[in-house]
């Protein structure tokens, strides 16, 4: 049995290229073409696997692009639970301009899922051999209601699994209303749930504490981009300042952060240590080009030499 099962309702094949410059009208000659499995939960599973963890990935897959996605995930040693759909799995596109280092990201909406198809993903979750953790991460496809994450929370609870959610808007709210083990919002996502601006650390801590105190989550890991990250539980809170590194690509940093957290949780490490590994993994992701994710060696180096976690209470 895998400790971790990831659920990705809107997966993708991520295509990344490099060009000398990205300009309008003219043909843009590209090189360094890469195609990789993508989507929130799949990215989490990929980094967990790189760290030596065991996980399964559940996701809908359709058409030739869906077949490519399944092969790409399995190639990385991850067990798959694909749910067949009629539509074609989406392909996202990232172009990096070598002259400036600027990155252009094009994200497609993905296929329209019928009720039978998105419910098929929930049925597959119910039938899975029970994991210790279910990770629901990423956007929802067209046709899939925001209430799905609430149903995922109820199914996970019935299975005896702890649910971890990385989502936004009504989808995140639906999960929190049912109660989760850990949620990992960005600042924008937390402001969306609280419907208020959170301009400083005091307001951010208070918002996260309110979620925990209300029993909506056992812990909130708030990522703040180049301003660091916060972790809040019922008893403790920590801050991790940003680590100064050369940023090559921001793609997958949040997913890598969550993967570092999940790998540590599955290893029964304490909250503070899980947070430190998450920060190391999230930072390691920006060292890699295109849509590539964090590498194990970079994560271990950053955790050993660069990560600082400061207790706040």
pLDDT for position 188: 97
pLDDT for position 206: 98
Kindly report the CA angle at 243 between 299 and 206, in degrees rounded to 5? 105
pLDDT for position 14: 92
Decide if pLDDT at 113 tops 80: yes
- 289 band by pLDDT with thresholds 50, 70 and 90: confident
Q: What is the mean pLDDT of the chain?
A: 95
Q: What is the model's pTM?
A: 0.95
pLDDT for position 130: 86
**Catalytic member of 3, 166, 255, 298:** 255
DSSP-derived 3-state class of residue 217: strand
Contact 152, 125 (CB under 8 A): yes
Decide if pLDDT at 290 tops 70: no
- 288 band by pLDDT with thresholds 50, 70 and 90: confident
* 20 labelled catalytic: no
pLDDT for position 213: 98
Domain covering 4-311, topology: 3.40.1190
Rounded-to-integer distance, Cα 121 and Cα 102, Å: 37
Decide if pLDDT at 102 tops 80: yes
In the chain, pLDDT over 70 holds for what percent of residues? Answer: 99
């Amino acid at each position: 049995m895998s400790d971790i099962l990831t659920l990705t309702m809107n997966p993708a094949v991520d295509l990344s290229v490099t060009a000398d410059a990205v300009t309008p009208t003219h043909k843009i000659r590209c090189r360094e073409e890469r195609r990789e499995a993508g989507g929130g939960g799949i990215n989490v599973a990929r980094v967990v696997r790189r760290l030596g963890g065991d996980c399964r990935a559940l996701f809908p897959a359709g058409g030739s692009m869906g077949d490519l996605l399944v092969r790409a995930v399995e190639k990385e040693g991850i067990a798959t639970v694909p749910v067949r759909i009629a539509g074609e799995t989406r392909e996202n596109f990232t172009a990096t301009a070598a002259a400036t280092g600027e990155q252009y990201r094009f994200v497609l909406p993905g296929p329209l899922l019928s009720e039978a198809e998105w419910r098929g993903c929930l049925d597959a979750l119910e039938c899975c051999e029970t994991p210790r953790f279910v990770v629901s991460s990423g956007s929802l496809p067209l046709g899939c209601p925001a209430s799905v994450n609430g149903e995922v929370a109820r199914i996970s609870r019935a299975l005896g699994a702890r649910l971890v959610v990385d989502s936004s808007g009504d989808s995140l709210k639906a999960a929190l209303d049912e109660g989760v083990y850990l949620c990992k919002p960005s600042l924008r996502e937390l402001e969306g749930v609280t419907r208020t601006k959170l301009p400083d650390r005091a307001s951010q801590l208070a918002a996260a504490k309110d979620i925990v105190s209300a029993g909506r989550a056992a812990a909130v890991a708030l990522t703040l981009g180049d301003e660091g990250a916060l972790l809040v539980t019922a008893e403790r809170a920590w801050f991790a300042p940003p680590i100064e590194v050369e940023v090559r690509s921001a793609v997958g940093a949040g997913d890598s952060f969550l993967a570092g957290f999940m790998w540590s949780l599955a290893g029964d490490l304490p909250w503070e240590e899980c947070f430190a590994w998450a920060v190391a993994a999230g930072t390691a992701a920006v060292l890699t080009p295109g849509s590539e994710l964090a590498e194990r060696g970079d994560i271990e180096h950053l955790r050993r030499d660069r990560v600082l976690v400061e207790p706040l209470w």
